[in-house]
């Protein structure tokens, strides 16, 4: 995998300093884990994608460690298993960047590119990172569907679309038509917590992907 990902023009620099709190966390983890990625995590997937899956932020043991979104901790298991079922994954996901998988027709982004303490970015940090999300989405020529994993990703996408949050409430399975002609579909985040508590089941997650595939098909009735 390239250090810069498939959308190098849309990535935060490795030493990005926009968010002092996140920079501080990165520095302390660099001391403890010098072999970790410890930097903003680039997008992963197909630059010709029609589907963009937008997560929250890198996980400490996951993307912050490995440098690939949803890779290295439990959150990726459900995501990549489901994406494999719907034909987006070439290769066998082994939760390690060395597994060599590639995505086709899909790309994975995060609303916030750096690890936030306790997985909770502040409003200012989400705002600071939105320019990178906007650049990435704008740089996908075939984009039709955006899937937001969780409310933070949903809110960030609605804000950058110019639509009103009050008119577009987050709800699992909800569909929102955005001003630029793309469609936003909401899903609960496939975090270990949501899966373990039963808030998000495999069937619920598959239903959202099924909806995305249906909406993207040009020959639908």
53 against 220, higher pLDDT: 53
In the chain, pLDDT over 70 holds for what percent of residues? 97
SS3 75: helix
Select from 45, 39, 48 the least CA-distant residue to 12: 39
Confidence of residue 1 (pLDDT cuts 50, 70, 90): very low
Element (H, E) at 110: strand 106-110
User: Does residue 219 register a pLDDT over 60?
Assistant: no
pLDDT of residue 60: 96
* Percent of the chain residues past pLDDT 90, beyond the cut: 95
What b/e readout covers 31-68, taking b as 16+ CB neighbours within 10 angstroms?
Answer: eeeeebbbbbbbbbbbeebbbbbbbbbbbbebbbbbbb
Which among 48, 185, 182 is positioned nearest to 105, based on CA atoms? 48
DSSP three-state, residue 80: helix
Q: Read off the pLDDT of residues 127-177 as tens digits, 9 standing for 90 and up.
A: 999 999 999 999 999 999 999 999 999 999 999 999 999 999 999 999 999
Q: How far is it, in rounded angstroms, from Cα 129 to Cα 108?
A: 15
Structure tokens at 45: 């997937």
For range 80-100, the mean pLDDT: 97
Q: For the beta carbon of residue 124, count every other beta carbon within 10 angstroms.
A: 12
Asked if the model's pLDDT at residue 216 lies above 60, the reply is yes
pLDDT at residue 59 tops 90: yes
What is residue 221's predicted lDDT score, i.e. its pLDDT?
41
For residue 85, what pLDDT band results from cuts at 50, 70 and 90? Answer: very high
How confident is the model at residue 218, as a pLDDT? 58
Q: What is the pLDDT of residue 4?
A: 81
pLDDT in the model for residue 3? 67
**How sure is the predictor about 220, in pLDDT bands with cuts at 50, 70 and 90?**
very low
* Long-range pairs for 131-135: beta carbons < 8 A, 24 or more residues apart: 132/10, 132/11, 132/12, 132/40, 133/54, 133/109, 133/157, 133/160, 134/160, 135/7, 135/9, 135/10
The per-residue pLDDT for 48 is: 97
Average pLDDT over residues 96-124: 97
Q: Across the chain, what does the average pLDDT equal? A: 95
Q: What are phi and psi of 56, to 5 degrees?
A: -85, -70
Q: What pLDDT, in 10s, does the model give residues 169-212?
A: 999 999 999 999 999 999 999 999 999 999 999 999 999 999 99
The helix/strand/coil state of 90 is: strand
Q: What pLDDT score was predicted for residue 217? A: 85
Of the two residues 220 and 209, the one the predictor is more confident about is: 209
């Amino acid at each position: 995998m390239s250090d810069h990902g498939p959308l190098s023009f849309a990535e935060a620099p490795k030493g990005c300093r926009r968010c002092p709190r996140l920079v501080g966390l990165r520095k302390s983890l660099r001391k403890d884990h010098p072999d970790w990625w410890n930097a903003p995590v680039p997008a992963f997937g197909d630059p010709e994608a029609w589907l963009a899956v937008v997560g929250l932020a890198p996980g400490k043991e996951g993307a912050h460690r490995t440098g690939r979104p949803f890779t290295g901790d439990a959150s990726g298991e459900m995501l990549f298993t489901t994406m494999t079922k719907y034909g987006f994954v070439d290769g066998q996901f082994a939760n390690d960047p060395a597994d060599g998988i590639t995505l086709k027709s899909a790309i994975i982004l995060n609303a916030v590119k750096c690890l936030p303490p306790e997985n909770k970015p502040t409003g200012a940090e989400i705002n600071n990172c939105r320019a990178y999300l906007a650049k990435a989405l704008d740089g996908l020529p075939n984009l039709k569907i955006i899937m937001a994993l969780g409310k933070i990703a949903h809110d960030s996408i609605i804000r950058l679309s110019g639509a009103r949050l009050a008119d577009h409430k987050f709800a699992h399975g909800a569909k929102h038509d955005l001003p630029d002609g793309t469609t936003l579909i909401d899903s609960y985040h496939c975090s270990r917590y949501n899966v373990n508590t039963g808030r998000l089941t495999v069937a619920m997650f598959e239903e959202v992907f099924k909806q995305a595939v249906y909406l993207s098909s040009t020959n639908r009735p």
